[in-house]
């Protein structure tokens, strides 16, 4: 009874295929396992069960029951039969086995690499939305305060006067542009009617022998008037195109810069008001960081405001020079063309178009003019 069976004794000694002890794997396995076991728990008191490489309980260590004090029963002999895959994995993990009392062993996770904390895109967007909301609130409060007469605003009297003149001139130029377009449309209809009337006179001149000369004179007159009208129409359309570019592109671009300048002015005044309110309050450990941050934001918006004011001043200067040059040429063209047309001076009318390098549409072209497309 006390003597163990030879079968159990033989099962405890692993041998290779040629009858030699396999020291290289099993001894390293037992050494690694010993370092992971708690004090007082030997290899003879454990049982390692291997279920192959793909098993769910590979390399599980089970603690056997300890004999109670005073008991004569000998402890059960342990059977170690690990698979080569489990042994190699346990040996590679070292002492990463935790065996709680009365339970199964639990394998700890591998090494954890702590990467630097990186801001996610969602957090960056949230921060941008927060800054935008705060800036919008400050600007809205500043605008309401100005309209109610409670808040102060920064005013550049010279620059504001130039901006008001520009806006007033833009309205007047737009009115001239509308009237010139109406004149062009009406002149086009008159020229078209004169051309049709000339064709009708020419047809009757061929069919009415007794009135051949009379119809012929009228046909030639109407065709000449239509030709001169087309020449005048070309000059007026050139005038309209130049004024339209000046009003809807050049002046509009300057007014866009003016809008950006006004937005920068509102932001500047909003942050200036915040800084003034903080400076009037108490100065302690809590308010000093806020005052310093407000001072930095105020300086940023002040630089932006100064830059936009400088940009507006430069654009207004160049716009004035360009406006004078463009309108001078176009007004001379419009005057000379109208005067030559109503004076019946066909040669002077054609000379005016050549002076401004205006090319008329080829007679008989099928493509409609831009007035017809309107």
pTM over the 0.85 mark = no
Q: How far apart are CA 43 and CA 60, in angstroms?
A: 14
Q: How far apart are CA 258 and CA 371, in angstroms?
A: 33
Radius of gyration, CA atoms only, the chain? 50
Give the pLDDT confidence score for residue 172 in this predicted structure: 95
- Helix H or strand E encompassing 66: none
Residues with pLDDT less than 50, the chain: 1-22, 24-25, 29, 33, 36-82, 86, 90-92, 94-116, 364-366, 370-371, 374
Q: Which two tokens stand for residue 123?
A: 């957090």
Give the pLDDT confidence score for residue 133 in this predicted structure: 84
Closest C-alpha among 96, 77, 84 to residue 32: 96
Give the pLDDT confidence score for residue 171 in this predicted structure: 95
pLDDT in tens, 112-122: 444 445 568 88
Asked whether the CA dihedral 90, 91, 97, 101 is positive or negative, the reply is positive
Q: How far apart are CA 24 and CA 28, in angstroms?
A: 7
Give the pLDDT confidence score for residue 47 in this predicted structure: 45
pLDDT in tens, 185-223: 999 999 999 999 999 999 988 888 888 888 888 999 999
How many residues comprise the chain?
Answer: 374
Q: How far apart are CA 84 and CA 193, in angstroms?
A: 107
Beta-bridged to residue 21, according to DSSP, are 15
DSSP H helical ranges for 112-156: 121-147
């Amino acid at each position: 009874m006390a003597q163990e069976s030879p079968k159990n004794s033989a099962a405890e000694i692993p041998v290779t295929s040629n009858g030699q002890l396999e020291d290289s794997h099993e001894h390293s396995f037992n050494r690694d396992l010993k370092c992971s076991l708690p004090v007082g728990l030997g290899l003879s008191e454990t049982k390692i069960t291997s279920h192959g490489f793909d098993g769910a309980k590979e390399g599980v260590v089970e603690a056997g029951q300890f004999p109670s004090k005073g008991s004569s029963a000998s402890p059960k002999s342990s059977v170690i039969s690990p698979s080569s895959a489990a042994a190699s994995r346990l040996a590679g993990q070292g002492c990463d086995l935790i065996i709680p009392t009365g339970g199964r062993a639990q394998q700890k996770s591998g090494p954890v690499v702590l990467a630097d904390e990186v801001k996610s895109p969602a957090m960056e967007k949230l921060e941008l939305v927060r800054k935008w909301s705060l800036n919008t609130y400050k600007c809205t409060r500043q605008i309401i305060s100005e309209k109610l007469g409670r808040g102060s605003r920064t005013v550049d009297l010279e620059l504001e006067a130039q901006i008001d003149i520009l806006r007033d001139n833009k309205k007047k130029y737009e009115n001239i542009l509308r009237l010139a377009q109406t004149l062009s449309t009406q002149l086009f209809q008159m020229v078209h009617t004169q051309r049709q009337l000339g064709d009708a006179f020419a047809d009757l001149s061929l069919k009415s022998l007794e009135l051949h000369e009379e119809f012929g004179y009228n046909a030639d007159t109407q065709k000449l008037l239509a030709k001169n009208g087309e020449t005048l129409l070309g000059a007026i359309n050139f005038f309209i195109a130049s004024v339209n570019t000046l009003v809807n592109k050049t002046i509009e671009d300057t007014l866009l810069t003016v809008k950006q300048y006004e937005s920068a002015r509102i932001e500047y005044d909003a942050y200036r008001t915040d800084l003034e309110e903080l400076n009037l309050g108490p100065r302690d450990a809590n308010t000093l960081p806020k005052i310093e941050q407000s001072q930095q934001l105020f300086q940023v918006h002040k630089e932006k405001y100064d830059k936009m004011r400088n940009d507006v001043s430069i654009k207004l200067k160049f716009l004035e020079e360009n406006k004078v040059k463009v309108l001078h040429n176009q007004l001379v063209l419009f005057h000379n063309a109208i005067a030559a047309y109503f004076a019946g001076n066909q040669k002077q009318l054609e000379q005016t178009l050549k002076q401004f390098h205006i090319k008329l549409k080829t007679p008989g072209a099928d493509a409609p003019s831009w007035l017809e497309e309107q």
